[in-house]
A = this chain, B = another copy of it.
Amino acid sequence: VRIVGERINATRKRVAAALERRDEAFIQAEARKQAEAGADLIDVNADARVGHEAEDLRWLAEAVQAAVELPLCLDSASLEAHEAALKVHRGPALLNSANAEAGRLAALLPLAKEHEAELVCLTTGESGVPQNAEERVALAHQMAEAVSKAGVPLGRIYFDPAVTAVATAGPAGRDLIGAVRRIRSEIPDAHVICGLSNVSFGLPQRGLLNRTFLAMLMASGLDAAILDPTRPGMMPTVRAAEALLGRDDFCLEYITAQREGKLET
Protein backbone atom coordinates (compact mmCIF):
# COMPACT_ATOMS: atom_id res chain seq x y z
CA VAL A 1 0.00 0.00 0.00
CA ARG A 2 1.33 3.47 -0.87
CA ILE A 3 1.45 5.68 2.20
CA VAL A 4 0.75 9.41 1.82
CA GLY A 5 1.95 11.22 4.95
CA GLU A 6 -0.68 13.77 5.95
CA ARG A 7 1.08 15.88 8.58
CA ILE A 8 2.04 18.93 6.45
CA ASN A 9 -1.46 20.36 6.24
CA ALA A 10 -2.26 24.03 6.85
CA THR A 11 -5.40 23.09 8.77
CA ARG A 12 -2.90 22.26 11.55
CA LYS A 13 -2.09 25.50 13.37
CA ARG A 14 1.62 24.82 13.70
CA VAL A 15 1.89 24.12 9.98
CA ALA A 16 -0.06 27.27 9.09
CA ALA A 17 2.23 29.33 11.32
CA ALA A 18 5.39 27.75 9.90
CA LEU A 19 4.09 28.40 6.42
CA GLU A 20 3.44 32.06 7.13
CA ARG A 21 6.87 32.71 8.62
CA ARG A 22 8.53 30.48 5.99
CA ASP A 23 9.96 28.18 8.67
CA GLU A 24 11.78 25.73 6.44
CA ALA A 25 13.34 23.86 9.36
CA PHE A 26 9.96 22.98 10.90
CA ILE A 27 8.45 21.89 7.60
CA GLN A 28 11.48 19.84 6.62
CA ALA A 29 11.56 18.10 10.01
CA GLU A 30 7.90 17.13 9.52
CA ALA A 31 8.78 15.77 6.09
CA ARG A 32 11.82 13.78 7.27
CA LYS A 33 9.92 12.33 10.22
CA GLN A 34 7.24 10.96 7.91
CA ALA A 35 9.73 9.67 5.35
CA GLU A 36 11.60 7.84 8.10
CA ALA A 37 8.36 6.35 9.43
CA GLY A 38 7.63 4.89 6.00
CA ALA A 39 5.73 7.47 3.91
CA ASP A 40 5.97 6.92 0.14
CA LEU A 41 4.64 10.41 -0.66
CA ILE A 42 4.32 13.57 1.40
CA ASP A 43 1.03 15.44 1.28
CA VAL A 44 1.43 19.24 1.22
CA ASN A 45 -1.57 21.48 1.81
CA ALA A 46 -1.11 25.26 1.98
CA ASP A 47 -4.76 26.36 1.86
CA ALA A 48 -4.61 28.76 4.81
CA ARG A 49 -4.21 32.34 3.53
CA VAL A 50 -6.81 33.17 0.90
CA GLY A 51 -5.16 34.58 -2.22
CA HIS A 52 -1.75 33.19 -1.27
CA GLU A 53 -2.41 29.49 -1.99
CA ALA A 54 -0.27 29.38 -5.12
CA GLU A 55 2.88 30.99 -3.73
CA ASP A 56 2.48 29.13 -0.43
CA LEU A 57 2.10 25.67 -2.03
CA ARG A 58 5.00 26.35 -4.36
CA TRP A 59 7.19 27.29 -1.41
CA LEU A 60 6.04 24.21 0.55
CA ALA A 61 6.75 21.90 -2.38
CA GLU A 62 10.27 23.24 -2.80
CA ALA A 63 11.01 23.15 0.92
CA VAL A 64 9.84 19.53 1.29
CA GLN A 65 11.56 18.18 -1.82
CA ALA A 66 14.79 19.85 -0.68
CA ALA A 67 14.59 17.66 2.42
CA VAL A 68 13.31 14.27 1.19
CA GLU A 69 13.59 12.33 -2.04
CA LEU A 70 9.88 11.63 -2.31
CA PRO A 71 7.09 12.67 -4.65
CA LEU A 72 4.46 14.97 -3.20
CA CYS A 73 0.73 14.81 -2.99
CA LEU A 74 -0.22 18.38 -3.96
CA ASP A 75 -3.34 19.06 -1.96
CA SER A 76 -5.33 22.22 -2.72
CA ALA A 77 -8.73 23.52 -3.68
CA SER A 78 -6.96 26.01 -5.92
CA LEU A 79 -6.11 25.15 -9.52
CA GLU A 80 -3.55 27.95 -9.54
CA ALA A 81 -1.81 26.39 -6.55
CA HIS A 82 -1.53 23.08 -8.40
CA GLU A 83 -0.12 24.85 -11.45
CA ALA A 84 2.41 26.80 -9.40
CA ALA A 85 3.59 23.78 -7.43
CA LEU A 86 3.87 21.57 -10.51
CA LYS A 87 6.37 24.08 -11.97
CA VAL A 88 8.85 23.27 -9.21
CA HIS A 89 7.90 19.66 -8.41
CA ARG A 90 10.43 16.96 -9.32
CA GLY A 91 9.06 13.61 -10.55
CA PRO A 92 5.41 12.65 -10.99
CA ALA A 93 3.20 14.36 -8.42
CA LEU A 94 -0.16 13.16 -7.13
CA LEU A 95 -2.81 15.89 -7.50
CA ASN A 96 -5.37 15.98 -4.68
CA SER A 97 -8.15 16.22 -5.68
CA ALA A 98 -10.70 16.24 -8.43
CA ASN A 99 -14.30 15.19 -7.80
CA ALA A 100 -17.45 14.68 -9.83
CA GLU A 101 -18.61 18.30 -9.60
CA ALA A 102 -18.96 20.06 -12.93
CA GLY A 103 -15.70 21.75 -13.89
CA ARG A 104 -13.36 20.38 -11.23
CA LEU A 105 -12.28 17.20 -13.06
CA ALA A 106 -12.28 18.98 -16.41
CA ALA A 107 -9.90 21.59 -14.99
CA LEU A 108 -7.45 19.12 -13.41
CA LEU A 109 -7.29 16.50 -16.17
CA PRO A 110 -5.32 18.65 -18.66
CA LEU A 111 -2.86 19.50 -15.89
CA ALA A 112 -2.45 15.82 -14.97
CA LYS A 113 -1.95 14.97 -18.64
CA GLU A 114 0.61 17.71 -19.29
CA HIS A 115 2.71 16.84 -16.23
CA GLU A 116 2.13 13.06 -16.33
CA ALA A 117 0.83 13.46 -12.81
CA GLU A 118 -1.38 11.07 -10.88
CA LEU A 119 -4.79 12.31 -9.79
CA VAL A 120 -7.02 11.67 -6.77
CA CYS A 121 -10.69 11.57 -7.80
CA LEU A 122 -12.96 11.96 -4.79
CA THR A 123 -16.35 10.30 -5.27
CA THR A 124 -18.36 13.36 -4.25
CA GLY A 125 -20.70 15.21 -6.57
CA GLU A 126 -22.95 18.24 -6.76
CA SER A 127 -24.98 16.90 -3.86
CA GLY A 128 -21.98 16.34 -1.59
CA VAL A 129 -20.82 13.09 -0.01
CA PRO A 130 -22.71 9.96 -1.14
CA GLN A 131 -24.94 8.14 1.32
CA ASN A 132 -24.01 4.62 0.24
CA ALA A 133 -21.63 2.38 -1.71
CA GLU A 134 -23.85 2.39 -4.81
CA GLU A 135 -23.56 6.16 -5.30
CA ARG A 136 -19.81 6.10 -4.70
CA VAL A 137 -19.30 3.41 -7.34
CA ALA A 138 -21.55 5.26 -9.81
CA LEU A 139 -19.54 8.48 -9.40
CA ALA A 140 -16.29 6.54 -9.88
CA HIS A 141 -17.58 5.08 -13.16
CA GLN A 142 -18.71 8.53 -14.30
CA MET A 143 -15.25 9.99 -13.61
CA ALA A 144 -13.44 7.00 -15.15
CA GLU A 145 -15.26 7.71 -18.39
CA ALA A 146 -14.17 11.37 -18.38
CA VAL A 147 -10.59 10.34 -17.54
CA SER A 148 -10.43 7.91 -20.46
CA LYS A 149 -11.97 10.48 -22.83
CA ALA A 150 -9.29 12.96 -21.82
CA GLY A 151 -6.62 10.42 -22.73
CA VAL A 152 -5.27 10.01 -19.19
CA PRO A 153 -4.44 6.36 -18.34
CA LEU A 154 -6.63 4.92 -15.56
CA GLY A 155 -3.45 3.60 -13.94
CA ARG A 156 -2.77 7.20 -12.86
CA ILE A 157 -6.13 7.60 -11.13
CA TYR A 158 -6.70 7.12 -7.40
CA PHE A 159 -10.39 6.99 -6.54
CA ASP A 160 -11.10 8.22 -3.03
CA PRO A 161 -14.52 6.98 -1.85
CA ALA A 162 -14.80 9.70 0.82
CA VAL A 163 -14.69 8.16 4.28
CA THR A 164 -17.35 9.42 6.73
CA ALA A 165 -17.78 9.02 10.48
CA VAL A 166 -19.08 5.71 11.78
CA ALA A 167 -20.28 7.48 14.96
CA THR A 168 -22.89 9.47 13.02
CA ALA A 169 -23.91 6.72 10.57
CA GLY A 170 -23.62 3.07 11.59
CA PRO A 171 -23.33 1.64 8.07
CA ALA A 172 -20.64 4.18 7.01
CA GLY A 173 -17.74 1.76 7.51
CA ARG A 174 -19.43 -1.21 5.85
CA ASP A 175 -20.46 0.97 2.89
CA LEU A 176 -16.93 2.18 2.48
CA ILE A 177 -15.53 -1.36 2.52
CA GLY A 178 -18.09 -2.32 -0.13
CA ALA A 179 -17.24 0.72 -2.24
CA VAL A 180 -13.50 -0.02 -2.14
CA ARG A 181 -14.08 -3.64 -3.13
CA ARG A 182 -16.40 -2.74 -6.01
CA ILE A 183 -14.31 0.10 -7.44
CA ARG A 184 -11.21 -2.13 -7.41
CA SER A 185 -13.01 -4.98 -9.12
CA GLU A 186 -15.06 -2.90 -11.60
CA ILE A 187 -12.29 -0.46 -12.57
CA PRO A 188 -9.29 -2.75 -12.10
CA ASP A 189 -6.76 -0.48 -13.82
CA ALA A 190 -7.36 2.36 -11.34
CA HIS A 191 -6.24 2.60 -7.72
CA VAL A 192 -8.23 3.25 -4.56
CA ILE A 193 -7.02 5.63 -1.86
CA CYS A 194 -8.62 6.70 1.43
CA GLY A 195 -8.06 9.33 4.03
CA LEU A 196 -8.71 7.16 7.05
CA SER A 197 -9.15 9.46 9.97
CA ASN A 198 -12.68 10.74 9.32
CA VAL A 199 -14.01 7.29 10.16
CA SER A 200 -13.21 7.73 13.87
CA PHE A 201 -14.46 11.31 14.23
CA GLY A 202 -16.20 11.83 17.58
CA LEU A 203 -14.98 8.55 19.11
CA PRO A 204 -12.28 7.76 21.66
CA GLN A 205 -9.09 5.86 20.84
CA ARG A 206 -9.12 7.08 17.26
CA GLY A 207 -5.79 5.45 16.39
CA LEU A 208 -7.22 2.00 17.19
CA LEU A 209 -10.21 2.60 14.90
CA ASN A 210 -8.08 4.11 12.13
CA ARG A 211 -5.58 1.27 11.97
CA THR A 212 -8.24 -1.44 12.30
CA PHE A 213 -10.13 0.22 9.43
CA LEU A 214 -6.93 0.37 7.37
CA ALA A 215 -6.47 -3.41 7.73
CA MET A 216 -10.09 -3.99 6.71
CA LEU A 217 -9.79 -1.73 3.67
CA MET A 218 -6.48 -3.30 2.60
CA ALA A 219 -8.18 -6.71 2.69
CA SER A 220 -10.81 -5.20 0.39
CA GLY A 221 -8.36 -3.86 -2.22
CA LEU A 222 -7.23 -0.45 -0.96
CA ASP A 223 -3.79 0.26 -2.42
CA ALA A 224 -3.02 3.73 -1.07
CA ALA A 225 -3.84 5.56 2.15
CA ILE A 226 -3.54 9.11 3.46
CA LEU A 227 -2.52 8.88 7.10
CA ASP A 228 -0.03 9.94 9.74
CA PRO A 229 2.70 7.28 9.62
CA THR A 230 4.24 8.59 12.85
CA ARG A 231 1.20 7.58 14.94
CA PRO A 232 1.82 4.64 17.30
CA GLY A 233 0.73 1.34 15.82
CA MET A 234 -0.07 2.63 12.35
CA MET A 235 2.97 1.44 10.38
CA PRO A 236 3.13 -1.88 12.31
CA THR A 237 -0.41 -2.54 11.05
CA VAL A 238 0.65 -1.66 7.50
CA ARG A 239 3.66 -4.04 7.68
CA ALA A 240 1.51 -6.82 9.17
CA ALA A 241 -1.22 -6.38 6.54
CA GLU A 242 1.32 -6.41 3.68
CA ALA A 243 2.80 -9.66 5.00
CA LEU A 244 -0.69 -11.17 5.42
CA LEU A 245 -1.66 -10.17 1.86
CA GLY A 246 1.44 -11.89 0.46
CA ARG A 247 2.97 -8.64 -0.78
CA ASP A 248 6.09 -8.99 1.35
CA ASP A 249 8.27 -11.80 -0.03
CA PHE A 250 9.19 -14.25 2.74
CA CYS A 251 7.92 -11.56 5.15
CA LEU A 252 11.38 -9.99 4.93
CA GLU A 253 10.20 -6.41 5.33
CA TYR A 254 8.11 -7.43 8.31
CA ILE A 255 11.01 -9.27 9.95
CA THR A 256 13.39 -6.39 9.22
CA ALA A 257 10.95 -3.89 10.72
CA GLN A 258 10.76 -6.05 13.84
CA ARG A 259 14.57 -6.20 14.14
CA GLU A 260 14.71 -2.42 13.85
CA GLY A 261 12.17 -2.09 16.65
CA LYS A 262 9.59 -0.65 14.26
CA LEU A 263 6.77 -3.05 15.11
CA GLU A 264 6.30 -1.86 18.67
CA THR A 265 2.66 -0.93 19.24
Contacts and interface: CB of A to CB of B under 8 A. Distances in A.
Contact of A204 (B167, B170, B263): B263
B216 A170 contact: no
B208 A240 contact: yes
Contacts of A205: 236, 240, 258, 263
Nearest to A218: B216
A262 to B, nearest CB: 10
B203 A246 contact: no
A63 interface: no
Copies held by the complex: 2
24 contacts: A166-B243, A166-B244, A166-B246, A167-B251, A170-B248, A170-B249, A171-B246, A173-B243, A173-B246, A174-B244, A203-B251, A203-B254, A204-B263, A205-B258, A205-B263, A208-B237, A209-B243, A209-B244, A212-B241, A215-B219, A216-B241, A219-B219, A219-B220, A265-B265
A233 B173 contact: no
Contact of A199 (B203, B215, B218, B244): B244
A172 B255 CA distance: 17
A212 B233 contact: no
Number of chain A interface residues as a range:
35 or more
Nearest to A210: B240
A213 B244 contact: yes
A108 to B, nearest CB: 31
Given A215-B215, A216-B219, A233-B265, A240 B209 contact: yes
Given A173-B246, A208-B265, A218-B216, A203 B237 contact: no
A248 to B, nearest CB: 8
Contacts of A219: 177, 215-217, 219-220
A197 to B, nearest CB: 13
Contacts of A102: none
Q: Which 4 A-B pairs have the closest CB atoms?
A: A216-B219, A173-B244, A170-B246, A212-B240
